[in-house]
Amino acid sequence: MKKFQKFVSLLSAAALLAMLPGSNTLTASAAEPTTFCVSYDEGDDAWYYQRDTSEYNPNIEVKEAFQLKDVIKDGDIVVVVGISDDTGLDLDLSNVRLSNLTIAQAATVVVRTKGVDECYVTTDSVAAITGDVSRAYVYNEGSVTFNSNVSYLEIIGTNDVHANIYVHGTVSHVKAVDEASIVCYEYYDFAKGKLEISDGSVQTDEAYYSKTPSASSTQNTAPATQDSQSSAPAPGNTSGAYDSVPKTGEAFPAYLVLIAIAAVCLAGRSVCKRA
C-alpha cells in the first residue's frame, strides 16, 4: 500500500512537470548580458553602480563602484555617466571582457578590462581604457588613451573631428568621419604605440602607418551598425542579444501550478483509497 502511494506521488510529480510550460524540453541558453550604469554622486563625492539600467535611475539600488567587479560577467555592458569634471574613477573590471563600454561625458575615467567588443567615448569624456578593443568610437572632443590594441577606431565629429587619442598598442584601421558621414581620413596598420591624434589630426609619422589596407587590417574592422555614425552612442548593441523592446507578456500564474498539484494529489488519494 505504501509503495503504491509512493508510486502515485511520483506519478503526480511527473504529471506536474509535464504540465509546466517548457518543462518537457531541455534548453541551454547563454545568460543575457546585464547593463550596469556607473554614475557619479556629487553629494557623496563617490561613484556608484546600478544594475539593469544605462542611466542613473533614482529607483534602483546603488552600490559602490568598486563592488561591480564581483557581480559582472563576460559580455556585460557598462555605461559610465559622469559630469565633465575631475571626479576620478578607477574601475577595475580586469576579470571580464565587456560587450559594450560607454563613457558618457565622464572625465578622468580609468577602466581596466580583459577586453571590449564595442567602446564608445562621447564628447567631453577623458578616459583611459585597458584591454583590447574590437571597435572603438570617439565623439567630438572626447579624449581617450587605449592602453592595449584597437582593431577598428572611428572618430566622429560635427563639422570636423577634434578628438584626442593615444593608443599604446596597435591599431588596424582608423577612420575619421563628420556628421554628414564624410570621411576626413582613413588609415591602416598603425605600429605599436604610434597612433597619436591631437585635436582630430594624426600626429604619427607616416612611416608608422599605411594609407592602404592590408589583408589583415580589414578583418574584424567593419563598423558595428549604421547607428555608430549618430551623435548618441548606443550601449547594449551586442550580437546575439535581442533588441531592447519592453516585455509585455504575463508570467505563468503560480496559482495554476498549485491547483494542478492539489488536483493530482486528490486524484492520487482517491486511487489509493479504492486500492
Partner 1 sequence: MVCCLVCAIFLMARRYLEYRHTQDLVESLRPSAVTDEGSAAMADMPESSSALAGEDVSGTEAAPAAEPDKVPVPNPYADSFLANEDMAAWLTIPGTNIDYPVMWTPRDENYYLYRGFDGKDNKNGCLILDTDSSLDPLTTNLIIHGHNMRSGAMFGNLTDYENEDFYREHKTITLYTKECQRNYEVIAVFRSQVYKKTDQVFKFYKFFQADTQEEFDDFYQNIKALSQYDTGVTAEFGDRFLTLSTCVYHVEQGRFVVVAKEVEEGDYYQPVE
Binding residues vs partner 1 (CB under 8 A): 53, 55, 57, 59, 225, 237-243, 245-251, 253-256, 258-259, 261-262, 265-266, 269
Closest distance to partner 1 from the beta carbon of 217 (Å): 23
Phi–psi pair at 16, nearest 5 degrees: -65, -45
Closer by beta carbon to partner 1, 211 or else 269: 269
Q: Is 234 exposed, middle or buried (0-12, 13-18, 19+ CB in 10 A)?
A: middle
Tell me the sheet residues that pair with 171: 150, 190
Beta carbons of 124 and 142 less than 8 angstroms apart: yes
**Taking Cα atoms as reference points, which of 163, 221, 224 lies closest to residue 195?**
163
Closest distance to partner 1 from the beta carbon of 60 (Å): 9
Question: What CA–CA distance (Å, rounded) separates 29 from 242?
Answer: 13
Closer by beta carbon to partner 1, 159 or else 248: 248
Closest distance to partner 1 from the beta carbon of 117 (Å): 12
Closest distance to partner 1 from the beta carbon of 159 (Å): 22
Beta carbons of 127 and 110 less than 8 angstroms apart: yes
Q: Is 206 exposed, middle or buried (0-12, 13-18, 19+ CB in 10 A)?
A: exposed
Closer by beta carbon to partner 1, 198 or else 220: 220
Closest distance to partner 1 from the beta carbon of 273 (Å): 13
Closer by beta carbon to partner 1, 148 or else 238: 238
Closer by beta carbon to partner 1, 99 or else 140: 99
